[in-house]
């Protein structure tokens, strides 16, 4: 059975801090790893990492895939209160996306 584990499960920081969220996985036939941000409603897509694209960056957010360690990190620098959300990691294998339980990030002013 495919498994995705995220850590920490929750995190409270102050505005301006840098945070690192972790995701590890055990899946058969790994194809991709995806990060989503979920505020009040549906998850919104952030990044997809594959064997041919192991590092992505967008503004203050960046993510790296370590295929040897079967893991990924999501970094957020200079955090803002608007970054408060649940961050979900998902791994694509065969036709399925398997999600972790998510990291609840709270950024206090």
Partner 1 sequence: NAGVTQTPKFQVLKTGQSMTLQCAQDMNHEYMSWYRQDPGMGLRLIHYSVGAGITDQGEVPNGYNVSRSTTEDFPLRLLSAAPSQTSVYFCASRIEGASLAEAFFGQGTRLTVV
Binding site for partner 1 (CB under 8 A): 1, 4, 6, 9, 31-32, 34, 41-45, 48, 50, 88, 90, 92-102
Kindly state the smallest distance separating residue 78's Cβ from partner 1, in Å: 25
Kindly state the smallest distance separating residue 73's Cβ from partner 1, in Å: 18
Residue closer to partner 1 (CB basis): 17 or 24: 24
Residue closer to partner 1 (CB basis): 28 or 109: 28
What gap in Å lies between CA 11 and CA 84, rounded to an integer?
10
Residue closer to partner 1 (CB basis): 76 or 88: 88
Residue closer to partner 1 (CB basis): 17 or 93: 93
Kindly state the smallest distance separating residue 109's Cβ from partner 1, in Å: 25
| SS3 letters across the chain | CCEEEEECCEEEEECCCCEEEEEEEECCCEEEEEEEEECCCCCEEEEEEECCECEEEECCEEEEEECCCCEEEEEECCCCHHHCEEEEEEEEECCEEEECCCEEEEEEC
The token pair that represents 89 in the structure block: 């990691």
Max Cα-Cα span within the chain? 42
Kindly state the smallest distance separating residue 101's Cβ from partner 1, in Å: 4
């Amino acid at each position: 059975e495919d498994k995705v584990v995220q850590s920490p499960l929750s995190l409270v920081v102050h505005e301006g801090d840098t945070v690192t969220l972790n995701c590890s996985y055990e899946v058969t036939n790994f194809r991709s790893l995806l990060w989503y941000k979920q505020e009040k409603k549906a998850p919104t897509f952030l990044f997809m990492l594959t064997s041919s694209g192991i590092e992505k960056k967008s503004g203050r957010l960046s993510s790296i895939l370590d295929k040897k360690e079967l893991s990924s990190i999501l970094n957020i620098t200079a955090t803002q209160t608007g970054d408060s959300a649940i961050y979900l990691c998902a791994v694509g294998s065969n036709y399925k996306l398997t999600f972790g339980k998510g990291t609840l990030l709270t950024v206090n002013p």
